């Protein structure tokens, strides 16, 4: 059996997998849509951008610096759509407690208090402070407002921004997206590989295929090629969807992302093969799958940083390969880091791939 | 007569849930080139297990099998292109059409594309499936699936055909199609080995019949001699003569 024939056979197998997948409409759509929904849902729920957030500016100052500041806030609009982030209302002579009651009543998401000596102090180059009140119950919007104000004031120099409560986190979405991609690729590669094999066992087609001159290696290689293409395609679709829908910014190298995902997919495929070798039909596969992949979903820090979980949970997370894939994806996609920064992750993921793949090939028998 | 399959002291032991099952117990026989060779025997006699070993799907526990002169143990990749298999358990991809299922098989057997398309059209018409060629096989009747399985196993022009219970559960019309195909392929010089639970089918088609029971081959001869030697009027009586009346688990 030459390498050429093996490769040819594996492409036949891969093509067949794609053809069958394309006819499982009930599977294809969620396969691509589910992670997107997850990002939009969580992204808007806990992070994301804001539109037309009502803001009150209490300006007790009449100088040039304050009117410049007020103008800039009023004119600012979001990056990815034409809608302004804030809808600004102006007033003066309002106490902080009165402003707080307006926020309590839900009329404003934020109130900026400009003291009467603001412009004077700026002109004299003295330090001065502004007070920003935000709606602490809406973590998303308040986080964005605070961040925006910080950026704005950074240009002005010696202004201290007084923020009574800082909530929310503009980076949640950026934090979430790489994790969702890793999770999606992991769950997807394990579940689609394993369930396809279990299904082929159930309807006898796997045995039938292994009765032909095609080698076991070619069958596995074909399924792997199919998975690599499928999972990389899902990751790309997901990254673009995150960009278009929630304004996710991709900072790192696509090539390094592909490398991480290829290695991780190999591990997932291996794991799917190992798991399917333990079952005789699809239903038992999905039960096993639930047991094996569920902990990964909740323990590995897809949705929250591992630094914020109790120790015992962190130790479990360190035993799960998904943790390292998420770590690598975040390092590349958010921080724009390169191979050096993720070398430990890559080594662990490669080991995972080698172990599951070797075991999978070993357990994937010709004997039905 | 020239043997195309040689089997010596074949044994297969399964270990399942701590239990030891001797599915095939010291079986020896030859199949001659160009004959139709039938295997009959009660459920669990070991027919399918023997088939699985002859077709290189599972390895014997002990014993020797040669197919077309090749050893199943060491030269299984030489044997696989020479044989065409219709398994007992029908195995078509339900989300592929009849034609796509055939093309997949043809491709896996490395049948050249131009030859393959011609053959597929020819065989689809031969078994009356040309109108259903582009339908998913998931919606096929048992008879349609069986006809398709039979032609899927012959696209690569194998020397030996293995059909495991090709006519179980089929209506008389489909069964007669299967018989016609058996004779046609045999006339083309192919050797056919098949199993059946229909005695008149074995009587009608076979040059020789082997009777298996509890992993042993208890008789092997042409239908006429089997009837004569046991004083039976038909193969049904031969079957009962060798395997008794008791129902198997
Ligand atoms: N993979 C396996 N593991 C364990 N036992 C098996 C396995 N395959 C077959 N057996 C057992 O071996 C024996 C022979 O089975 P086999 O399928 O060869 O019988 P058969 O003659 O084809 O029967 P049938 O007419 O019902 O098809 C049976 O007892 C069966 O339960
Ligand atoms: Mg059987």
Task: Give the whole-number percent of chain A exceeding pLDDT 90.
Answer: 34
pLDDT at B69 over 50: yes
Residue A191 distance to chain B (closest CA, Å) = 19
Q: Above 0.90 for ipTM, yes or no?
A: no
By residue range, what is the domain housing residue B120?
3-243
What is the pLDDT, as a whole number, of residue A78?
A: 54
Among residues B144, B123, B128, B136, the alpha carbon closest in space to that of B93 is found at B136
What is the pLDDT, as a whole number, of residue A166?
A: 32
A170 pLDDT tier (thresholds 50, 70, 90) = very low
Contact A207 B81 (CB under 8 A): no
Give the residue carrying structure tokens 């009586």: B237
What is the pLDDT, as a whole number, of residue A168?
A: 32
What is the pLDDT, as a whole number, of residue A164?
A: 59
Domain at B177, CATH number: 3.40.50.300
Mean pLDDT over each residue of chain A, to the nearest integer: 83
DSSP state for residue B97 in the 8-state scheme: B
Distance CA A347, CA A355 (A): 12
| B48 CA to centre of ligand 2 in angstroms | 4
The residues pairing with B65 across neighbouring beta strands, listed in sequence order, are B7
* In chain A, domain spans: 3-45+171-367, 53-162
In which region does residue A165 sit, left (phi positive, over 0), alpha (psi from -120 to 50) or beta (all else)? Answer: beta
Residue B122 distance to chain A (closest CA, Å) = 22
pLDDT at A81 over 60: no
Nearest ligand to the CA of B40 is 1
What is the pLDDT, as a whole number, of residue B248?
A: 76
pLDDT at A50 over 70: no
Q: What atom of ligand 1 comes closest to residue B212's alpha carbon? A: 21
Distance CA A367, CA B82 (A): 20
Task: Name every residue whose Cβ is closer than 8 Å to that of residue A323 and which is 6 or more positions away in sequence.
Answer: A300, A301, A306, A317
| Closest in B59, B81, B91 to A207, CB measured | B91
**Concatenated DSSP letters of A270-288:** HHHHHHHTT-SSHHHHHHH
B47 lines ligand 1 (CB under 6 A): yes
Is the Cβ–Cβ distance between B72 and B56 less than 8 Å?
Answer: yes
Is the Cβ–Cβ distance between A223 and A193 less than 8 Å?
Answer: yes
Average pLDDT over residues B48-72: 95
Residue B4 distance to chain A (closest CA, Å) = 19
CA dist list (Å): A213 to A164, A363, B55: 73, 20, 11
B196 lines ligand 1 (CB under 6 A): no
What is the pLDDT, as a whole number, of residue B249?
A: 72
Per-residue model confidence as pLDDT tens digits over A295-304: 888 888 787 7
The sheet carrying A110-114 orders its strands as A86-91, A53-59, A110-114, A128-134, A159-162
What is the pLDDT, as a whole number, of residue A49?
A: 55
Judge whether A52 is closer than 8 Å to chain B, CB to CB.
Answer: no
Is the Cβ–Cβ distance between B83 and B161 less than 8 Å?
Answer: yes
Among residues B58, B125, B113, B112, the alpha carbon closest in space to that of B85 is found at B58
Task: Name every residue whose Cβ is closer than 8 Å to that of residue B135 and which is 6 or more positions away in sequence.
Answer: B97, B98
Cβ atoms within 10 Å of A42's Cβ, excluding its own? 20
Per-residue model confidence as pLDDT tens digits over A173-193: 777 888 999 999 999 999 999
pLDDT at A215 over 70: yes
Structure tokens belonging to residue A20: 């069958």
DSSP state for residue B247 in the 8-state scheme: P
Judge whether A24 is closer than 8 Å to chain B, CB to CB.
Answer: yes
Task: Give the whole-number percent of chain A exceeding pLDDT 70.
Answer: 86
CA angle A301, A307, A308 (to 5 degrees): 80
Is the Cβ–Cβ distance between A47 and A169 less than 8 Å?
Answer: yes
Judge whether A155 is closer than 8 Å to chain B, CB to CB.
Answer: no
Residue B134 inside a domain? The answer is yes
Average pLDDT over residues A41-70: 74
Per-residue model confidence as pLDDT tens digits over B119-166: 999 999 999 999 999 999 999 999 999 999 999 999 999 999 999 999
State whether the Cα torsion A346-A351-A357-A358 is positive or negative: positive
Query: What is the DSSP pairing of strand B83-86 with strand B160-164?
Result: parallel
| B181 CA to centre of ligand 2 in angstroms | 21
DSSP state for residue B216 in the 8-state scheme: E
pLDDT at B197 over 70: yes
Distance CA B214, CA B40 (A): 12
Q: Which of A120-134, A300-314, B176-190 has the largest mean confidence?
A: B176-190
User: Which of residues A102 and B33 earns the better pLDDT score?
Assistant: B33
pLDDT at B102 over 90: yes
Candidates 3.30.450.20, 3.40.1710.10, 3.40.50.300, 3.30.60.50; correct CATH number of A53-162?
3.40.1710.10
Alpha carbon nearest to ligand 1 atom 29, residue: B44
Q: Which segments of B13-168 does DSSP mark as H helices, in order?
A: 47-54, 76-79, 98-108, 113-126, 142-152
| B86 CA to centre of ligand 1 in angstroms | 17
SS3 of B81, please? helix
Give the residue carrying structure tokens 């005789």: A280
Task: Name every residue whose Cβ is closer than 8 Å to that of residue A357 and which is 6 or more positions away in sequence.
Answer: A266, A267, A269, A270, A273
pLDDT at A137 over 60: no
Residue B249 inside a domain? The answer is no
Is the Cβ–Cβ distance between A94 and A39 less than 8 Å?
Answer: no
Is the Cβ–Cβ distance between B233 and B219 less than 8 Å?
Answer: no
A20 → chain B, closest CA residue:
B95
A36 pLDDT tier (thresholds 50, 70, 90) = confident
Per-residue model confidence as pLDDT tens digits over A333-361: 877 788 988 999 999 999 999 999 999 98
Per-residue model confidence as pLDDT tens digits over B25-35: 999 999 999 99
Structure tokens belonging to residue A351: 């080991």
pLDDT at A42 over 90: no
Residues near ion ligand 2 (CB < 5 Å) are: B 47-48, 88
Burial letters for A339-349: b for 16+ Cβ neighbours within 10 Å, e otherwise?
eebbeebbebb
Query: Which chain B positions have a beta carbon within 8 Å of A212's beta carbon?
Result: 80, 105, 108-109
A8 pLDDT tier (thresholds 50, 70, 90) = very high
Calculated CA dihedral for residues B55, B59, B60, B61, nearest 10 degrees = -170
pLDDT at A165 over 50: no
Mean pLDDT over each residue of chain B, to the nearest integer: 94
Among residues B41, B67, B40, B39, the alpha carbon closest in space to that of B53 is found at B67
| B44 CA to centre of ligand 1 in angstroms | 5
pLDDT at A61 over 50: yes
Alpha carbon nearest to ligand 1 atom 3, residue: B14
Query: Which chain A positions have a beta carbon within 8 Å of B51's beta carbon?
Result: none
| Closest in B81, B90, B109 to A204, CB measured | B90
Cβ atoms within 10 Å of A154's Cβ, excluding its own? 10
Residue B126 distance to chain A (closest CA, Å) = 23
Residue B248 inside a domain? The answer is no
What is the pLDDT, as a whole number, of residue A89?
A: 87
pLDDT at A171 over 70: no
Distance CA A245, CA A36 (A): 9
Q: Which segments of A277-342 does DSSP mark as H helices, in order?
A: 282-299, 311-319, 321-333
B49 lines ligand 1 (CB under 6 A): yes
Judge whether A216 is closer than 8 Å to chain B, CB to CB.
Answer: no
Lowest mean pLDDT, pick from A128-137, B195-204, B216-225: A128-137
**Global pTM value:** 0.78
Q: Considering its fold, how many domains does chain B have in total?
A: 1
Structure tokens belonging to residue B227: 């009837």
SS3 of A171, please? coil
Is the Cβ–Cβ distance between B150 and B86 less than 8 Å?
Answer: yes
Distance CA B12, CA A131 (A): 85
Contact A368 B85 (CB under 8 A): no
């Amino acid at each position: 059996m030459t390498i050429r024939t093996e490769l040819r056979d594996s492409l036949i197998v891969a093509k067949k997998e794609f053809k069958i997948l394309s006819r499982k409409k009930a599977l294809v759509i969620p396969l691509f849509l589910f992670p997107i929904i997850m990002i939009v849902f969580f992204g808007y729920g806990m992070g994301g951008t804001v539109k037309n957030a009502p803001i009150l500016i209490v300006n007790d100052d009449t100088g040039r610096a304050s009117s410049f500041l007020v103008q800039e806030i009023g004119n600012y609009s979001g990056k990815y759509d034409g809608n302004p982030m804030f809808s600004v209302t102006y007033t003066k002579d309002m106490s902080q407690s009165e402003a707080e009651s307006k926020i309590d009543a839900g009329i404003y998401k934020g109130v900026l208090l400009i003291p009467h000596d603001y412009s004077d102090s700026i002109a004299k180059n003295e330090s001065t402070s502004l007070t920003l009140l935000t709606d602490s119950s809406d973590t998303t919007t308040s986080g964005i407002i605070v961040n925006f104000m910080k950026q704005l004031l950074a240009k002005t120099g010696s202004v201290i921004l007084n923020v009574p409560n800082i909530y929310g986190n503009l980076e949640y979405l950026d934090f979430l997206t790489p994790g969702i991609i890793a999770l999606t690729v992991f769950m997807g590669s394990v579940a689609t590989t394993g369930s396809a094999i279990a299904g082929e066992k159930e309807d006898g087609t796997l045995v039938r295929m292994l009765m032909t001159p095609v080698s076991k290696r070619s069958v596995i290689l074909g399924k792997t090629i199919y998975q690599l293409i499928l999972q990389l395609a899902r990751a790309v679709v997901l990254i673009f969807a995150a960009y278009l829908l929630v304004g996710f910014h991709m900072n790192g190298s696509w090539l390094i992302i592909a490398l991480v995902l290829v290695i991780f997919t190999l591990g997932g495929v291996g794991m799917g093969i190992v798991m399917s070798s333990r079952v005789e039909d699809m239903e038992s596969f999905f039960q096993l799958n639930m047991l094996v992949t569920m902990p990964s979903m909740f323990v590995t820090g897809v949705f929250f940083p591992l630094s914020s979980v109790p120790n015992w949970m962190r130790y479990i997370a360190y035993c799960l390969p998904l943790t390292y894939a998420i770590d690598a994806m975040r390092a590349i996609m958010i921080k724009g880091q390169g191979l050096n920064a993720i070398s430990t992750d890559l080594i662990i993921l490669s080991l995972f791939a080698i172990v599951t793949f070797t075991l999978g090939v070993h357990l994937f028998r010709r004997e039905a | 007569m020239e043997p195309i399959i040689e089997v010596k002291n074949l044994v297969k032991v399964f270990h399942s849930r701590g239990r030891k099952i001797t599915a095939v117990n010291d079986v020896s026989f030859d199949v001659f080139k160009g004959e139709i060779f039938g295997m009959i025997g009660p459920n669990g006699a070991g027919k399918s297990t023997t088939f699985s070993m002859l077709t290189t799907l599972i390895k014997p526990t002990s014993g020797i099998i040669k197919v077309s002169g090749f050893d199943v143990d060491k030269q299984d990749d030489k044997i696989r292109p020479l044989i065409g298999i219709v398994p007992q358990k029908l195995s078509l991809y339900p989300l592929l059409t009849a034609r796509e299922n055939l093309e997949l098989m043809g491709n896996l057997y490395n049948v050249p594309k131009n030859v393959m398309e011609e053959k597929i059209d020819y065989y689809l018409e031969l078994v009356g499936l040309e109108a259903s060629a582009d339908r998913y096989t998931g919606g096929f009747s048992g008879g349609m699936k069986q006809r398709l399985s039979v032609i899927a196993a012959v696209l690569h022009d194998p020397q030996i055909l293995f059909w495991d219970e090709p006519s179980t559960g089929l209506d008389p019309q489909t069964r007669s199609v299967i018989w016609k195909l058996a004779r046609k392929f045999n006339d083309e010089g192919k050797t056919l080995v098949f199993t059946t639970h229909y005695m008149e089918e074995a009587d009608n088609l076979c040059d020789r019949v082997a009777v298996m029971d509890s992993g042993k081959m208890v008789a092997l001869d042409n239908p006429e001699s089997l009837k004569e030697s046991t004083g039976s009027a038909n193969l049904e009586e031969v079957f009962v003569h060798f395997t008794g009346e008791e129902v198997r688990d």
